Amino acid sequence: MTAVGTHCPYCALQCATTLHPVGRPGAVAVQPRDFPTNRGGLCRKGWTAPEVLTVPDRLTRPLVRDAAGELVETSWDEALDFVADRIRVLQAAHGNDAVAVFGGGGLTNEKAYALGKFARVTLRTSNVDYNGRFCMSSAAAATNRAFGVDRGLPFPLEDLGGAGAILLVGSNLAETMPPAVAHLKAARAAGGLIVVDPRRTATAGLAEDGAGVHLQATPGSDLALVLALTHVILQEGLGDTAYLEARTDDPDGLYRSTAAWWPERAERITGVPASTIRQAARVLAAAAPMHGGAGAFILTGRGAEQHSKGTDTVTACINLALALGLPGRLGSGYGCITGQGNGQGGREHGQKADQLPGYRSIADPAARSYIAGVWGVEPDELPGPGRSAVELINALGTPDGPRALLVHGSNLVVSAPRLASVRERLAALDLLVVADVVPSETALLADVVFPVTQWAEEEGTMTSLEGRVLRRRAAVPAPGEVRSDLAVFAGLAERLRPSIPFSTDPAEIFEELRAASAGGIADYSGISWSRLDAGEALFWPCPAEDHPGTPRLFADTFGTPDGRARVIAVDHQPVADDLRDDAPLYLVTGRLLQHYQSGAQTRRVAELTEAEPEVFAEIHPRVAAQLGVADGRPVRLATARGSMVLPARVTADVRPDTVFVPFHYGGEGSVNELTNDALDPISRMPEFKVCAVDLTPAWAV
Ligand code: SF4
């Protein structure tokens, strides 16, 4: 085979690559390609991604659990027959909602679309949601209510390159998306990089070293901090009053909701000196267009979003951007740094509990009628909104909950919060089916495992964090009896509802997806396979084949009924599981340069595991000295949900009141044993990012 142009399998930056088959079955070498998001760069994960194609424990045949409790190889037909029979029995006894489907933000657009359609049309269940609920759902909820549209970055990433200031709230770009750092260069050189993070991450270090600002706020206090930044801007007359009048629905509301957030008050909650808050606000304002600056951006990541008040925290960031007149202005704006590879496309095509393709609401009668027409069913056949991810997991195996779960592209027993409960709920099921590439921790619990294709073995489309639709291309054949997730949907549909067959051809499914998205918020109808193959950079909405796509949104109007952005008053709230005498520190979770999400792929790459082989707890030297804990010694972390023992990594990069643990590890290294599943009331995002924890030397227990 010849060289093939495709994109990295991991994060939403979707760095462009060229794959060269190297002669060994299934193996490729990777080279970066020049592309606007990565500019010829790749991170360590991208360089080593080919190793995942040939890992020794790659799943190559379907597995079914036998009477002795072992997973044994079987044929596709036997596995599909078994699953279809069990589904039939369970739905006959308990109703359609007895079967649930859980998707993933790494699935291609075609798989995400087919998964949602399979749930609604074949299974006719309302119980479908996905792991994007754990990722950027708070930003999606906040942008939907403020702008009427959710597109992670409503502008091309390259626009950051001209900015004089960039405020990053809870995003560690330098480790999660290293090639993106090139786009921060101008802002950093201007002393305009401002980073909000309780740790001195690599990104915070870039800000400090570039004479920018690191706001090392108390975990869970971002909302108060952003309210104070907005307060300074408005009280010092730095706000864009003309923009607020012309483009928002309630300028006065913005003043009212931030009036009580003077920096000295915020300092008591955030721990950030009032003078530093004022400095950051002025740096940001100086770069805003109304002051003749080069442009300013406010960007949020999981640090701002994975909270029980994540939607309000992002809303505060949007309000700050509105105060400065940024959204819709060329070279400025607000955006969310989406994390998962297809975190953007994954939330557009109908695998969410409340959504139909085209980013349509499942509760909207017109949307139901349109999509039912595309699918060849009656509108009233379509189920209504279902349970969100955590609520779905918590209902598994309960008297009113699903009895069966099909998981595609998700490793729940590492990536979901409060893992003891997750395992308990999965164990209560009558049927657990997992489609995966490797025997992930979740696959090992399944009754049936389907071996499925991965990035370099499949065709399809992905949508980057900017809403740019990209082609994924196959460079090597899949090994053994591996098939696409699409074959699982098609095989089960053939057995359960043959009158509505499912294609296994990604190009054919993309054609249907285009039709389903037509007229929706995320309109792909003008984006053809051939335009993508010709190399056109196509951002949705793209409503016709002669339409150039829409790289920048909101230039003239927002997606709300009156075209104005909504100013929504929000206020600081304490974290759901706050500090107390027996849990006096904050536990914060996050990511490492070397690993991706649950680590199911990257923990199988030798170079990455050698660099970061095991979980650890970052603790401040002062805490280490108080407890007599030396670097590398075991400590015990205990929260209201569980405990774990792990080595300490003593560093002054973390606040003295904070313990940081990466979440990429499985088994006894899973920090999600400890995290809290308290939900944001709007986005239904669990509060991964902060909870109270007790820290003791492990030998003292
Ligand atoms: Fe690029 Fe992300 Fe892949 Fe790294 S993991 S190479 S930043 S797409």
622 pLDDT more than 70: yes
Smallest CA separation from ligand 1 atom 7, residue: 177
Question: Angle of helix 485-496 relative to helix 76-94, nearest 10 degrees?
Answer: 50
For 553-605, what is each residue's pLDDT tens digit? 999 999 999 999 999 999 999 999 999 999 999 999 999 999 999 999 999 99
State residue 671's pLDDT score.
97
Give me ligand 1 centre to Cα 472, in Å. Answer: 14
Residue partners of 604: CB distance under 8 A and separation at least 6 = 51, 52, 55, 57, 438
For 171-195, what is each residue's pLDDT tens digit? 999 999 999 999 999 999 999 999 9
Q: Across the chain, how many H-helices and E-strands are there? A: 23, 26
Percent of the chain with pLDDT over 70: 100
State residue 418's pLDDT score.
96
Q: Could you give phi then psi for residue 677, rounded to 5 degrees?
A: -100, 25
Locate the ligand 1 atom nearest the alpha carbon of residue 7 and give its number.
8
Closest CA to 654 of 695, 687, 623: 623
For 650-682, what is each residue's pLDDT tens digit? 999 999 999 999 999 999 999 999 999 999 999
State residue 2's pLDDT score.
85
Q: Would the CB of 46 count as within 6 Å of ligand 1?
A: yes
350 pLDDT more than 90: yes
For 135-154, what is each residue's pLDDT tens digit? 889 999 999 999 999 999 99
Q: How many CB atoms lie within 10 A of CB 701?
A: 11
Name the β-bridge partners of 505.
none
In whole numbers, what is the pLDDT of the chain averaged over residues?
96
Do 302 and 135 contact (CB within 8 A), yes or no?
yes
Do 186 and 164 contact (CB within 8 A), yes or no?
yes
Ligand 1 pocket test: pick from 33, 45, 608 the residue with the most ligand atoms within 8 Å of its Cβ.
Answer: 45
Q: Would the CB of 155 count as within 6 Å of ligand 1?
A: no
Domains 4-54 and 63-127+346-539 share a fold: no
Q: How confident is the model at residue 439 (pLDDT cuts 50, 70, 90)?
A: very high
CA distance 382 to 364: 12
pTM exceeding 0.90: yes
CATH class of 63-127+346-539: alpha beta
301 pLDDT more than 60: yes
Do 229 and 546 contact (CB within 8 A), yes or no?
no
> What per-residue string of b and e applies to 189-202 under the rule 16 or more CB within 10 Å gives b?
ebbbbbbbbbbbbb
Q: What is the mean pLDDT of residues 617-639?
A: 97
Q: Would the CB of 173 count as within 6 Å of ligand 1?
A: no
Domain ranges of the chain: 4-54, 63-127+346-539, 137-336, 585-700
210 pLDDT more than 90: no
> ipTM value of the model?
0.99
For 92, counting Cβ atoms within 10 Å of its Cβ (0-12 exposed, 13-18 middle, 19+ buried), the class is exposed
Name the β-bridge partners of 71.
65
End-to-end CA distance of the chain: 59
Q: Would the CB of 15 count as within 6 Å of ligand 1?
A: yes
Which of 3.40.228.10, 3.30.1360.20, 3.90.10.10, 3.20.20.80 would CATH assign to domain 137-336?
Answer: 3.40.228.10
4-54 fold: N-terminal domain of TfIIb (2.20.25)
Q: How confident is the model at residue 1 (pLDDT cuts 50, 70, 90)?
A: low
State residue 21's pLDDT score.
87
CA distance 347 to 151: 10
CATH class of 585-700: mainly beta
For 325-334, what is each residue's pLDDT tens digit? 999 999 999 9
Q: How confident is the model at residue 700 (pLDDT cuts 50, 70, 90)?
A: low
State residue 474's pLDDT score.
96
Name the β-bridge partners of 3.
none
310 pLDDT more than 90: yes
Q: What is the mean pLDDT of residues 76-84?
A: 98
701 pLDDT more than 60: no
